[in-house]
């Protein structure tokens, strides 16, 4: 891929990459959607969303440290850099809507409000984890939050989310089903089968492809024939949209409109969230296929830093309040680690419980 560059665009800073352009949040020249979103959210809700993004970032940083200390085993796929996607999208749905995602599921689980202690305990393989210590990093699940799981098979979650959308349509519940998957999964046949069925039956399925530009270590420019993944929706006569996944307000604003429309008239949609992960595919991936310059340029569009500055510009959060929140959330994650460390291991006698065999 060509290296990223940054340039100024009148009163707004723009970060450009091949086929990607992020416009940073700014009060100097706000968009009409940005104004509407800020007015609709209000101070308290926007600060709450900022806090949620901090929670995701600090949770992932601490999870990496615990893995390096060998307190966490197996795979670990962190969400750093993509916080605005899960936070913005899931803030726009109701508590009874369905959500399903891939193995990079920590951010989604936290954005849904699952306590970080229960998630950290799952990473530690403890009985107090969300799956009793049996699921680990890739398989967070919550019946209470209608999280139908993180899934280790690429694209394996897509038909499950489609089934939830079918149930909502069949029962007339007005629910929607949000189906997260990565840019690598959009090339799986199961996506195309699910998209076709969703369109045939007008199901309230919201397909969200988190395009962080790399499927494992392979650039999308080498794996996907079209740079605009949202255009694939046209093959199934459904709507397709692109959103700046580094911009919390745009992500939330678009999703709010999408959800409101599907409450009134159930039908599927494909949303491509343009984003970037600051770490490798998993903790075992050093990411040597990317240059330091590329990562550094993406950090100029850090979604958390954008919202922090935006809140400061609005006069809704000064530096002292930001530092206090930072300290508070960091302590919350430390408490989660302590909870996980002190929790008991699963009873070996319960090894076969919840396991289905022929």
For residue 183, pLDDT beyond 90:
yes
Per-residue HEC secondary structure of 83-141 comes to: HHHHHHHHCCCCCCCEEEEECCCHHHHHHCCCCHHHHHHHHCCCCCCCCCCCCCCCCCC
> And the tokens for 227?
């740079």
**CATH code that applies to domain 5-343:** 3.40.50.970
Q: How many other C-beta atoms lie within 10 A of the C-beta of residue 161?
A: 28
β-strand pairing of 205-211 with 269-274: parallel
Domain ranges of the chain: 5-343
The share of the chain scoring above pLDDT 70, in percent, equals: 92
pLDDT digit string, tens, across residues 73-132 = 999 999 999 999 999 999 999 999 999 999 999 999 999 999 999 999 999 999 999 999
Instruction: Report pLDDT for 29.
Output: 67
Instruction: Report pLDDT for 247.
Output: 94
DSSP letter for each residue of 27-70: SSS--HHHHHHHHHHHHHHHHHHHHHHHHHHHHHHHHHHHHHTT
Mean of pLDDT over the chain? 91
Which of 322, 301, 258, 263 is CA-nearest to residue 83?
301
Q: Tell me the HSE value of 277 on the side-chain side, using a 13 A CA sphere.
A: 25
Which residues fall within 8 angstroms of residue 315, CB to CB, at 6 or more apart?
none
Instruction: Report pLDDT for 6.
Output: 39
Mean pLDDT, residues 317-338: 98
Which residues fall within 8 angstroms of residue 44, CB to CB, at 6 or more apart?
none
Mean pLDDT, residues 149-158: 95
More confident residue, 79 or 225: 79
Which residues fall within 8 angstroms of residue 292, CB to CB, at 6 or more apart?
none
Instruction: Count Cβ atoms within 10 A of the Cβ of residue 157 and give its class: 0-12 exposed, 13-18 middle, 19 or more buried.
Output: buried
More confident residue, 284 or 325: 325
pLDDT digit string, tens, across residues 272-310 = 999 999 998 888 888 889 888 888 888 999 999 999 999
Cα separation of the two ends of the chain: 48
Instruction: Report pLDDT for 36.
Output: 87
Q: What is the largest CA-CA distance in the chain?
A: 65
> And the tokens for 183?
């840019």
Instruction: Report pLDDT for 321.
Output: 97
Angle at 95 (CA atoms; ends 204, 41), nearest 5 degrees:
95
3 pLDDT band, cuts 50/70/90, is very low
User: Chain-centre distance of CA 177, in angstroms?
Assistant: 15
For residue 138, pLDDT beyond 80:
yes
pLDDT digit string, tens, across residues 14-46 = 445 554 556 677 666 667 778 889 999 999 999
* Beta-sheet strand order (sheet of 205-211): 147-151, 98-102, 177-182, 205-211, 269-274, 239-244
């Amino acid at each position: 891929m060509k290296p990223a560059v940054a340039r100024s665009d009148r009163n707004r800073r723009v970060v450009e990459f091949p086929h990607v352009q992020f416009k940073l949040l700014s009060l100097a020249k706000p968009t009409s959607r940005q104004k509407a979103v800020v007015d609709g959210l209000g101070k308290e809700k926007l600060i709450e969303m900022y806090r949620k993004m901090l929670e995701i970032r600090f949770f992932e940083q601490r999870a990496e440290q615990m893995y390096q200390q060998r307190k966490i085993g197996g795979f670990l796929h962190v969400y750093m850099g993509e916080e605005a996607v899960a936070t913005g999208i899931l803030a726009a749905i109701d508590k009874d809507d369905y959500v399903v995602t891939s193995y990079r599921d920590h951010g989604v689980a936290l954005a849904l409000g699952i306590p970080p202690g229960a998630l950290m305990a799952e990473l530690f393989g403890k009985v107090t984890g969300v799956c009793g210590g049996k699921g680990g990093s890739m398989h967070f699940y919550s019946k209470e939050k209608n999280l139908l799981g993180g899934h280790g098979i690429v694209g394996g979650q897509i038909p499950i989310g489609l089934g939830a959308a079918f149930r909502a349509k069949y029962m007339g519940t007005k629910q929607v089903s949000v189906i997260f998957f990565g840019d690598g999964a959009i090339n799986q046949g199961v996506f195309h089968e699910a998209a076709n069925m969703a369109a045939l039956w007008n199901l309230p399925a919201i397909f969200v492809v988190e395009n962080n530009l790399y499927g494992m270590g392979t650039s999308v420019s080498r794996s996907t024939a079209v740079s605009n993944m949202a255009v694939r929706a046209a093959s199934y006569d459904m709507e397709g949209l692109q959103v700046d996944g580094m911009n919390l307000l745009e992500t939330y604003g678009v999703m709010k409109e999408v959800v409101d429309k599907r409450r009134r008239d159930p039908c599927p949609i494909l949303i491509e969230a343009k984003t970037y992960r600051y770490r490798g595919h998993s903790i075992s991936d050093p990411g040597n296929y990317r240059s330091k310059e590329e990562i550094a340029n993406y950090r100029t569009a850090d979604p958390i830093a954008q919202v922090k500055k935006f809140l400061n510009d609005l006069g809704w959060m000064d530096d002292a309040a930001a530092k206090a929140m930072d300290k508070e959330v960091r302590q919350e994650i430390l408490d989660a680690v302590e909870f996980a460390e002190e929790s008991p291991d699963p009873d070996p006698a319960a090894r076969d419980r919840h396991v289905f065999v022929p």
